[in-house]
Amino acid sequence: MKSLYLDQMVGWKMWTFTLAVAILSSVYGSSAIATDTLVPLDSHLFHSLRRISSPVVSPDQQQALFLTNYYDPDVDKEYNYLSLLDIEVGDVTQLTPVLEGSDRASNLLWLGPSTAGYLSKGALYQHDLVPYTNGMLLFNATLNINSATYRASSGILLFTASTFLDGNISSVAKQLNVEKNRTDSAMVFDNLWARHWNKWMGEQKSTLFSINTTNEFYGSWQLGKETNLMQGLPLTKDPLLRWEVEGYTASEDGEHVAFVVRNPGLDMAWSTNVDIYLTTTDGSMRPKLLTGAFKGIASGPAFSTDGSAVAWLQMETPGYESDINRIYMYNITTGNVRSVAHEWDLSPQSILWSADNKVLYALTPDRGDRRLYSVDIETGKYKPLTDYGTVSSITRAGT
């Protein structure tokens, strides 16, 4: 049975939800304190409660990885550790020791049937699912990796890292050293996008790369040279006004990747022109703009399971950050773009294709809850699959 996994924050439990509307639940909970006595929920206890990340289901649908995160207010430090859930039995096994501060794990992924991966200290580590052991360094790009995705069927590793105008990983350390040894601290801006919240605009921008990998015997990996997948975008001369990837997703066969970028320009401070581009993971295809008909915010691209189409969420009104999200779909073979359930009066926040590519699952705010809906791709008909509470994330088993 194909399953859809979601985190629903009702009673602080993690549920496994099947499409047959049968519930196969594995509940994992932990408390910040061990006691048989009820205690009041004050700010100290609230901040120290242990929180579970979204599960990452194994390709065989039998196991799931997740992180347990917590904060110790007494020493002002954050911690987490990696665990493995046996979905059928419900047993939970702690895989890593407790990781502290910058050593904490993030961005969980499956590198093989019995090999997990995660980011720590800006590098990619692999873990062989042996309890209470540290992961082994797999890939260090000489600069911090911000996110990573792996497709075992093609051996493609995708990751983002912040580079300078030349887009090269190898030159980052040298340019950072130049910046460090400057004799002044002056900053000059000729646009209003100088500061976003608490961050000054800098010359380093998040860039999307791919690497071909080969998994040899006994877990020995061979990695090729990285390819900058954004090189085909229109050139910009201003190092401060450049393309910067805000999100990406890869097809399951590892052939294509869709990435989200804000259109660089002097109007970035008030423009909502956020686009989605499609390209091949080997860099042989010039990135193709999918959202050129709109000047609103595009987000959340998602590939069909067969890689023939990509859907995304689109705000249609320029300059309106609170616009409703509409669902659009691009057929990679024909090049056609069409909307799905365009008259729906709710605004989905994320979408996921069903295994047979006939339905899109959408997480949607609805009357104070965050519900899971199914949307028929052909007819546009939609219906709720959950009734109350907040669904925080969904993933299809085996991805």
Give the mean pLDDT per block of 10 residues along the chain (399 residues).
Answer: 47 34 32 64 90 91 95 95 95 97 96 94 95 94 92 94 92 91 88 84 93 72 90 83 94 97 87 96 95 96 97 96 97 96 96 96 94 96 93 75
Instruction: Give 160's DSSP letter.
Output: E
For residues 298 and 19, give the distance between their C-alpha atoms in angstroms, rounded to a whole number: 28
pLDDT for the residue 159: 97
Tokens of 70: 């917590």
**Residue 361 and residue 399 in contact, taking contact as beta carbons nearer than 8 Å:** no
For residues 370 and 213, give the distance between their C-alpha atoms in angstroms, rounded to a whole number: 39
Taking CA 10 as the corner, what is the angle to CA 7 and CA 12, rounded to the nearest 5 degrees? Answer: 75
Q: Whole-prediction pTM value?
A: 0.88
DSSP for 161-207, written as a single string: EEE-TT--STTHHHHHHHHHT-S------SSSTTEETTEE--S-EEE
SS3 of residue 103 by DSSP: helix
**Residue 19 and residue 359 in contact, taking contact as beta carbons nearer than 8 Å:** no
Taking CA 199 as the corner, what is the angle to CA 195 and CA 205, rounded to the nearest 5 degrees? Answer: 90
SS3 content of the chain, % helix, strand, coil (to 5): 5, 45, 50
For residues 90 and 231, give the distance between their C-alpha atoms in angstroms, rounded to a whole number: 46
Taking CA 334 as the corner, what is the angle to CA 333 and CA 336, rounded to the nearest 5 degrees? Answer: 125
Burial level of 335, CB count in 10 A (0-12/13-18/19+)?
exposed
Tokens of 19: 């499409």
Tokens of 259: 């990435």
Instruction: Give 101's DSSP letter.
Output: G
For residues 26 and 85, give the distance between their C-alpha atoms in angstroms, rounded to a whole number: 8
CA diameter of the chain: 65
Tokens of 113: 């049937």
Which of 46, 39, 9 is closest to 27 using CA atoms? 9
Q: How far is CA 327 from CA 14, 205, 207, 310, in A?
A: 28, 28, 26, 11
Torsion of CA 142, 148, 150, 156, to 10 degrees: -50
| Kind and range of the H or E run holding 327 | strand 326-331
Residue 328, CA atoms < 13 Å, CB-side half-sphere: 25
